[in-house]
Structure 1
Amino acid sequence: MFSKKPTLIGDRVTLRPVGPEHVDGLLELCADDEVGRLTGSHAGPVDRATCEQWYATRGELAERLDLAILAGSEYVGEVVLNHLDAPNRACNLRIALIGSRVFGRGYGTEAIELLLRHAFTTTPLHRISLDVFTFNPRAIRVYEKVGFVQEGVNRDALFWEGEWHDSIPMAVLRPEWEARNL
């Protein structure tokens, strides 16, 4: 479903297939403690070889779509469609911005809008879902703004720095997106 890797152009950002030219940005993203907390990533620091291997192989995978978010020519994050469930025409969305220096500029909102438009106009996808931690109200507002609907609460889904945190599953369905955007 994602064998074609598009370039999507918006007003603030351009989404391009990830590649070796984005490795420095991925290293910065993965090293940012706040990004780690917001994404619930316990992976810790990653090395250059791991990032190079990761971004070198994403283009080969027809079951996922990994796009770099660029503001001008600057890498500011990534947005991904993954966990494809083709028989049910569903997948997961995840996004990570490079850190607080790019938060609040609308990059994430526009990246998600571009990716949803691509997904719902060029693929048979019916459902795109995600999970967001309750301590991330900024992200929750963005997801609701672009059409995601809260579907419940996953209690104690993340153990971070000695405390449990809930996550909120959210999804947008093709008919909901079409009603808002077509």
Structure 2
Amino acid sequence: MTMHIYGKLAGALALTFTLAGCIDAKVEVDVTSETTAKATITQIMGAEIYPMIKASQAEKTEGDSPADDFCAEGELIESADGGATCVISKEGPFAELVFDEEEEDPGITFTSAGPGLVRVAFATSGITKDLGDQEEMDEQTKTMMTQMFEGHAFTLKISGGEITDTNMTIAGDKQSAEKVIPFLDIINRTVDLPEELYAVVKK
């Protein structure tokens, strides 16, 4: 079973390039049974960019498509400092955890790893292909991008039970595994990732 998510993340990252702001993104997959899970995408935009995005979206006419708007789907939470958080969540059978119907990349897959074991795998090709697919930048642009994205990252977390096998960082209680990927490594194409990030969850 496959879950497509890259379209949502790539779209949000593209907004930060266009409007010069900062974002953190996190994908959390909580395996709730041998056949079901809850998946949550959380995108956090700082006060440097969100007011511009909000104003831009407010200027759209009735005929404009809202598909590429920040948090066109999901729950939008505006913070007191001027930033905002978008939370998109889906829960149910693996086959129904689809965030982007048009996305061709395999995204996240769910397979059986034995009785009571669910293997959750995240294909990393989508990170380097979609999130890091930017044109060559001159030195001034690179300096600007470094300042904007320094300290911001994309995080993948898999939980739902004891982690019996993974190539990510396992928590002390062995109930989750996580990988944090700095956006600068993606943008500069210096990120070194395996073909997939995975964790086996015992239910």
TM-score, scaled relative to structure 1? 0.28
Q: Which has the higher contact order (CA 8 A, sep 6+)?
A: 2
Who wins on radius of gyration, i.e. which is larger?
2
Decide which structure has greater helix share: 1
Bigger strand fraction:
2
